């Protein structure tokens, strides 16, 4: 089965007086592949603009937007219709024996390809992050899937989700100290902790389909905005998704847009404006995902 969906992502900036804008970089378009495909998409702005599309070093889809005139309001709206095949459960991809216990044993070729995702990126000045990571493998707790599940469960159970208007991502040590954060903070904490155990991990930016938006009973944390989670490379299973915000590893809820070594590489919309500092009045972001229907699986005609 696959899900056909419509997605609309609108970002609005307001100013007291007309201001000028630099080129903006937008990362909104979901990645294609075995997890889904794009049927149609478009990007609109409320003032004249020129849009160029490119792929970055990690093959993420990036739109570069040039604006030709100043304005008191900037509205960027992205729309996509896609087909989402969902994420199979980990049981569908048995691990290679060398991946069943921590530390996972990567081949020389895998090390070459994965080195940038294995090396820790964030600082850990007091060693608290490393100590927290090692607590999940203390004693004989070395089963790979068990370690991953327990770390995700610990974040989901013991931490408090705290949305905030400030841009950026907390340092993992800060999220650990506060025991709270956003989806980006949770993902970044788990990534940097797992890297200290020798796992190859990457940050994922995307969208969260919430069944409650279509009248379902249960709401998902982080819906109505961009979402973030992580993927771990496990020989035999490949890149596997872990969402500590909603304790998800499979299903139809996660729609991937971009991957990165660290969160700052995949900010959904970035750019500058030029004017008096007091002119800035604020911004709003609205994301809606609507399921249009489902398609049956292909029949086996052998």
What is the per-residue pLDDT across 39-61, written as a single tens digit (0 to 9) for each? 999 999 999 999 999 999 999 99
User: Do the domains at 2-84+267-295 and 91-265 have one common CATH topology?
Assistant: no
pLDDT of res. 135? 97
pLDDT of residue 210: 65
| CATH code for the domain defined by 2-84+267-295 | 2.60.40.2250
User: Is pLDDT above 80 for 299?
Assistant: no
Q: What percent of the chain has pLDDT over 90?
A: 75
Report the alpha-carbon distance of residue 132 to residue 173 in Å, rounded. Answer: 10
pTM of the model: 0.91
Q: Does residue 218 register a pLDDT over 60?
A: no
Residue range 12-23: mean pLDDT, rounded: 97
The rounded Cα 155 to chain-centroid distance in angstroms is 17
Is the pLDDT at 66 greater than 80? The verdict is yes
Mean pLDDT across 95-120: 97
pLDDT tens-digit readout, 165-192: 667 899 999 999 999 999 999 999 999 9
Q: Give the model's confidence band at 194: pLDDT under 50 very low, under 70 low, under 90 confident, else very high.
A: very high
Sequence spans of domains, the chain:
2-84+267-295, 91-265
- Residue 53 burial by Cβ neighbours in a 10 Å radius (0-12, 13-18, 19+): exposed
Q: How far apart are the first and last CA of the chain?
A: 19
* pLDDT interval class at 302 (50, 70, 90): very low
Q: How do residues 120-136 score in pLDDT, each as one tens digit? A: 999 999 999 999 999 99
Residue 300's pLDDT is 44
Domain 91-265 falls under CATH 3.10.620.30:
yes
**pLDDT of 216 over the 90 cut:** no
Report the chain's C-alpha Rg in angstroms.
20
267: pLDDT strictly greater than 90: yes
């Amino acid at each position: 089965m696959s899900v056909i969906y419509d997605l609309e992502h609108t970002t609005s900036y307001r100013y007291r007086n007309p201001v000028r804008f630099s080129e903006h970089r937008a990362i909104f378009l979901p990645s294609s592949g075995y997890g889904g495909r794009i049927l149609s998409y478009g990007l609109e702005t409320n003032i004249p603009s020129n849009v160029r599309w490119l792929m970055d070093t990690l093959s993420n889809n990036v739109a570069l937007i040039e604006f030709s005139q100043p304005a008191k309001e900037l509205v960027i709206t992205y729309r996509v219709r896609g087909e989402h095949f969902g994420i199979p459960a980990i049981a569908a991809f048995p691990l290679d024996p060398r991946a069943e216990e921590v530390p996972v044993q990567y081949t020389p070729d895998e090390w070459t390809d994965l080195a940038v995702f294995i090396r820790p990126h964030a600082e850990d000045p007091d060693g608290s992050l490393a100590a927290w990571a090692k607590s999940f493998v203390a004693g004989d707790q070395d089963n790979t899937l068990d370690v991953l599940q327990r770390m995700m469960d610990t974040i989901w159970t013991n931490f408090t989700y705290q949305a905030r208007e400030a841009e950026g991502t907390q340092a993992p040590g800060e999220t650990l100290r506060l025991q709270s954060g956003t989806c980006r903070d949770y993902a970044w904490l788990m990534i940097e902790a797992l890297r200290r155990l020798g796992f190859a991990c990457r940050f994922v930016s995307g969208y969260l389909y919430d069944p409650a938006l279509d009248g379902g009973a249960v709401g998902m944390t982080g819906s109505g905005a961009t979402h973030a989670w992580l993927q771990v490379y496990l020989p035999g299973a490949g890149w596997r998704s872990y969402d500590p915000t909603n304790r998800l590893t499979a299903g139809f809820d996660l729609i991937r847009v971009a991957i990165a070594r660290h969160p700052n590489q995949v900010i959904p919309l970035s750019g500058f404006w030029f004017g008096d500092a007091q002119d800035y009045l604020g911004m709003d972001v609205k994301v809606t995902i609507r399921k249009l229907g489902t398609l049956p699986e292909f029949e086996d005609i052998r």
